[in-house]
Amino acid sequence: MNFTRTLFPLSMLLLSGCVVGPDYQKPETALPAKFSESKSASADNVTLNPWWESFRDKRLNDLVHQGMNENLTVLQALERIDAAEANVIVAGAGALPSLGASAEGNVSGRDGSYLRRTTTSDHSESKSISAGLSASWLLDFFGQYRRQKEAANASLDAAYDDVNVARLAYLSDLVSSYINARYYQEALALSRKNLQSRRESLKLTNEIKEAGAASSLDVLQTEGLVNQTLADLPALETGFHQSANHIATLLGVPAATITSSLIKGSSQPMPRYATRTGVPADLIRNRPDIRAAERRLQAATAAIGVAEADLYPSIQLGGSIGATRNFNPVAGNLTSWSFGPSLSLPIFNGGALKAQVKIARSEAEQQYLNWKSTVLNAVEEVENAQTALIRDGQTVAALRKVVNSYEQTLNLARESYRGGASTILDVLDAERNVATARLSLASAIRQLARDYVSLNVAIGGGSAIGTPAVVATK
């Protein structure tokens, strides 16, 4: 009856226990109603949008899907989910009763003789076995373990978001590297085409020289352009191989493994449709790095409650029961038990516990500032990528016209040179202009494609494709 009278008030106190520390509130920051160069219309969930398929490049699609779950950075992030899930279990275990068992066997004795008045032999032996059970339960009156589990669950959610961050970085790196590889192949093809054109000019110059209408200087100048073009080829080949090697690394295979499959070139990737950027507020929902920062803010907020709970008394219920059996009939057997609460009250600790609360609050404020910075950086990335995409599209359109004009100029210059109405310098200048314009166009197309990648990555496009189906257990 006394046991019941003691336990009942404690149980009522436990049931009425409070949770100290601030409750988590979603952070807010002022954002514009729309991006500067798009409409103020919210976009759908872009995290499942396979935006790279806009390039309509089957080889690129195959590479993306091949490496989606083979990229080593993504696999590391997936492993961290396992650790975060285990940490949730550890955090919740402290609030549960613990039970332990022990057993011990002992044999002791003595054997010998000693001399007092007469010689006496002494021989004795005793055996015993003891076993016991112990239990304890720390009553979580102030929500210390509940806050710890809240923090652990938030960290688990952040681990899931970190996988999407890694996947987004993989998509950006892989598609950009593929764009680079195709650019170098296009630049090589254009340089070889320019080489052929300059060799034709060299042949024409030699023919005119033989007819007495050109000088050796004209021939040497033409040969110089041929050799210059030959000197440009190795650097472009190096760029292609380095891009192909990096793609292999991103796929989790040794370098040069997929180079042979990329040797057969294809046209440079060009996006076939525009990207709906939505509004800045959509980024909070779609960007995994913003979501991860928010989850870390939630974990830091819960940690304040953990630190504050240490300022208050703690009560632990504990008990044990043990039995000892002696095989010596003189000693007999023994059974013992104990049960009762123990109170721990922080009285003087030099201000350390209050300092821990201050540290926890400061860390939470840092996480809020980090979240806000992440949001603002995301808005900037979208604005920059969208601005670049629009302007580079205009550049590509203009350069196409430039290439067409210079190609016509080259044809006219050659005809004029054959007729003796112009010099070889006019032809060489026209060839240089054509070569430069063609390579500038290829470079602008590469930049346009990379701007498209940057914009889709900036809005969080495709980040949730392949995300593990398991969600955090609350």
Contacts of 139 (CB under 8 A, 6+ apart): 10, 13, 14, 17, 314, 315, 316, 317
Query: What order of strands is seen across the sheet that includes strand 334-344?
Result: 98-115, 119-139, 314-326, 334-344
> Which residue has better confidence, 190 or 266?
190
CATH of the domain at 48: 1.20.1600.10
Residue 16: band (very low, low, confident or very high) from pLDDT cuts 50, 70, 90: very low
pLDDT at 118: 52
Q: Cα dihedral sign for 430, 432, 434, 436? A: negative
Q: Cα dihedral sign for 50, 55, 56, 62? A: negative
Determine the Cα–Cα distance for residues 266 and 92; give it in Å rounded to an integer.
56
With 0-12 / 13-18 / 19 or more C-beta atoms within 10 angstroms meaning exposed / middle / buried, residue 323 is middle
Does some domain include residue 328?
Answer: no
Of 213, 236, 268, 312, nearest to 441 by C-alpha is: 268
Q: How much of the chain, in percent, has pLDDT values that exceed 90? A: 49
> Does residue 331 register a pLDDT over 70?
no
Determine the Cα–Cα distance for residues 192 and 442; give it in Å rounded to an integer.
14
The residue-averaged pLDDT of 170-198 equals 94
> Which residue has better confidence, 302 or 221?
302
Does some domain include residue 419?
Answer: yes
Average pLDDT of the residues of the chain: 85
Does some domain include residue 137?
Answer: no
- Helix (H) or strand (E) holding 342, with range, is strand 334-344
3-class SS at 179? helix
Residue 429: band (very low, low, confident or very high) from pLDDT cuts 50, 70, 90: confident
Residue 358: give the domain boundaries.
15-94+142-312+352-458
Beta bridge partner(s), residue 109: 125
> Does residue 11 register a pLDDT over 80?
no
Does some domain include residue 324?
Answer: no
Residue 101: band (very low, low, confident or very high) from pLDDT cuts 50, 70, 90: confident
> Does residue 112 register a pLDDT over 70?
no
Give the single-character DSSP code of 268. Answer: P
Does some domain include residue 343?
Answer: no
pLDDT at 123: 58
Q: How many domains does the chain have?
A: 1
- Helix (H) or strand (E) holding 187, with range, is helix 144-210
- 80: amino acid identity, one letter: R
The residue-averaged pLDDT of 348-368 equals 91
pLDDT at 116: 53
pLDDT at 108: 65
* DSSP state letters, 389-431: HHHHHHHHHHHHHHHHHHHHHHHHHHHHHHTTSS-HHHHHHHH
pLDDT at 469: 54
Angle separating helix axes 144-210 and 72-93, nearest 10 degrees: 170
Does some domain include residue 241?
Answer: yes
> Does residue 8 register a pLDDT over 70?
no
The tally of CA atoms less than 13 A away on the side-chain side of residue 109 is 12
Does some domain include residue 225?
Answer: yes
> Does residue 226 register a pLDDT over 50?
yes
| CB of 171 closer than 8 Å to CB of 457 | yes
The residue-averaged pLDDT of 341-362 equals 85
pLDDT at 396: 96
pLDDT single digits (tens) 128-174: 677 777 776 777 778 788 888 899 999 999 999 999 999 999 999 99
Q: Is the pTM of this model over 0.85?
A: no
pLDDT at 390: 95
Residue 334: band (very low, low, confident or very high) from pLDDT cuts 50, 70, 90: low
Determine the Cα–Cα distance for residues 270 and 268; give it in Å rounded to an integer.
6
Give the single-character DSSP code of 33. Answer: S
Angle separating helix axes 288-309 and 144-210, nearest 10 degrees: 150
* DSSP state letters, 64-80: HHHHTTT-HHHHHHHHH
* DSSP state letters, 101-158: EEEEEEEEEEEEEEESSSEEEEEEEEEEEEEEEEEEEEE-TT-HHHHHHHHHHHHHHH
Determine the Cα–Cα distance for residues 186 and 189; give it in Å rounded to an integer.
5
Determine the Cα–Cα distance for residues 149 and 436; give it in Å rounded to an integer.
63
pLDDT at 135: 72
Determine the Cα–Cα distance for residues 44 and 34; give it in Å rounded to an integer.
15
Contacts of 263 (CB under 8 A, 6+ apart): none
| CB of 92 closer than 8 Å to CB of 145 | yes
pLDDT at 111: 61
Backbone angles phi, psi at 8, to 5 degrees: -60, -50
Does some domain include residue 42?
Answer: yes
The residue-averaged pLDDT of 211-227 equals 84
Give the single-character DSSP code of 231. Answer: H
pLDDT single digits (tens) 56-96: 999 999 999 999 888 899 889 889 998 888 888 888 777 77
